[in-house]
């Protein structure tokens, strides 16, 4: 089993146990090592799965004390690095959609080659965190291709929250393959110098992310 698949499997199992009758609110979960042995995986896999549970508002970890169940119900309003997921989407619509259009109009051949290089890195990424890093590089490179330094700065500054969101969605909602396809559509439109197509492709990408977030907790 690939590491990404193992982490997703452990996350789903933990969530099922927490939301079932195995644990009550206030109970402490077994330690990482015990859970790793139970599920037959490494501690980093368990750690990422526990982090996803915490993101959903199911658990809370206290240093030196362990991880405790704090809710049986997922929090429908997700936050990443202290930023509400819906606020992130709203801001991205305002900035990244027109930015993609500018990139199509203004990109250089060197910038285009860089975008395709990042697409290759995304396709060949061997683990989730590597993919997330290249995801951030792609969106930042698209902004750089717009030629607008303020837009580039904004996109780069949002990555602290967006990297956490991307990692979470890939782990819990299997977004990686769809994102790769959506990213390629954006870059192809930029290659064709079609501002309308680039804006439409970026819109599609952001709406798919928004739909995925909206389904969580349903």
What's the pTM value of the predicted model, to 2 decimals? 0.80
Q: Give the separation between CA 186 and CA 119, rounded to whole angstroms.
A: 11
In a domain, 132, yes or no: yes
Per-residue pLDDT, 1: 37
In a domain, 148, yes or no: yes
Indicate whether 100 and 42 sit together in one domain.
no
Indicate whether 65 and 168 sit together in one domain.
no
In a domain, 1, yes or no: no
Mean pLDDT of 126-138: 92
Mean pLDDT of 132-137: 96
Indicate whether 62 and 83 sit together in one domain.
no
Indicate whether 26 and 54 sit together in one domain.
yes
Indicate whether 51 and 105 sit together in one domain.
no
Q: What is the CATH number of the domain that holds 57?
A: 1.10.10.10
Indicate whether 24 and 96 sit together in one domain.
no
In a domain, 33, yes or no: yes
Indicate whether 116 and 173 sit together in one domain.
yes
Indicate whether 43 and 139 sit together in one domain.
no
Indicate whether 115 and 28 sit together in one domain.
no
In a domain, 35, yes or no: yes
In this prediction, residue 138 has a pLDDT band, given cuts at 50, 70 and 90, of very high
Give the number of other CB atoms < 10 A from CB of residue 45. 24
Indicate whether 122 and 168 sit together in one domain.
yes
Q: What is the CATH number of the domain that holds 97?
A: 1.20.120.530
∠ CA 82-207-103, rounded to 5°: 90
In a domain, 74, yes or no: no
- Bin 29: left if φ > 0, else alpha if -120 < ψ < 50, else beta: beta
Mean pLDDT of 111-132: 94
With a cut of 50, say whether residue 3 has pLDDT above it. no
Q: Find out whether 62 and 68 touch, Cβ atoms under 8 Å.
A: yes
Indicate whether 109 and 186 sit together in one domain.
yes
∠ CA 15-17-20, rounded to 5°: 105
Question: To the nearest 10°, the Cα dihedral for 177, 206, 135, 149?
Answer: 160
Among 44, 69, 94, the domain boundary falls at 69
Domain hosting residue 29, numbered range: 6-69
Among 69, 92, 112, the domain boundary falls at 69
Per-residue pLDDT, 218: 52
Indicate whether 56 and 84 sit together in one domain.
no
Per-residue pLDDT, 101: 98
Among 38, 69, 100, the domain boundary falls at 69
With a cut of 90, say whether residue 77 has pLDDT above it. no
Domains in the chain, number? 2
Per-residue pLDDT, 2: 43
How do residues 175-199 score in pLDDT, each as one tens digit? 889 999 999 999 999 999 999 999 9
In a domain, 199, yes or no: yes
């Amino acid at each position: 089993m690939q590491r990404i698949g193992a982490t997703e499997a452990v996350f789903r199992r933990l969530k099922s146990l927490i939301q079932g009758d195995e644990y009550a609110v206030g109970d402490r979960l077994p330690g990482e090592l015990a859970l790793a042995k139970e599920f037959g995986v490494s501690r980093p896999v368990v750690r990422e799965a526990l982090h996803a549970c915490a993101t959903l508002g199911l658990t809370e970890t206290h240093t030196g004390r362990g991880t405790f169940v704090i809710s049986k119900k997922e929090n429908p309003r997700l936050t990443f690095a202290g930023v509400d997921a819906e606020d992130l989407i709203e801001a991205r619509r305002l900035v990244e959609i027109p930015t993609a259009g500018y990139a199509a109009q203004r990109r250089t051949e060197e910038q285009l080659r860089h975008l395709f290089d990042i697409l290759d890195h995304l396709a060949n990424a061997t683990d989730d965190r590597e993919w997330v890093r290249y995801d951030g590089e792609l969106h930042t490179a698209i902004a750089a291709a717009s030629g607008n330094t303020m837009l580039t700065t904004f996109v780069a500054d949002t990555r602290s929250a967006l990297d956490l969101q991307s990692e979470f969605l890939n782990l819990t909602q299997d977004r990686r393959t769809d994102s790769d396809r959506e990213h390629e559509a954006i870059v192809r439109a930029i290659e064709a110098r079609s501002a309308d197509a680039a804006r439409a492709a970026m819109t599609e990408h952001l709406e798919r992310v928004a739909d995925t977030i909206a389904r969580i907790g349903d």
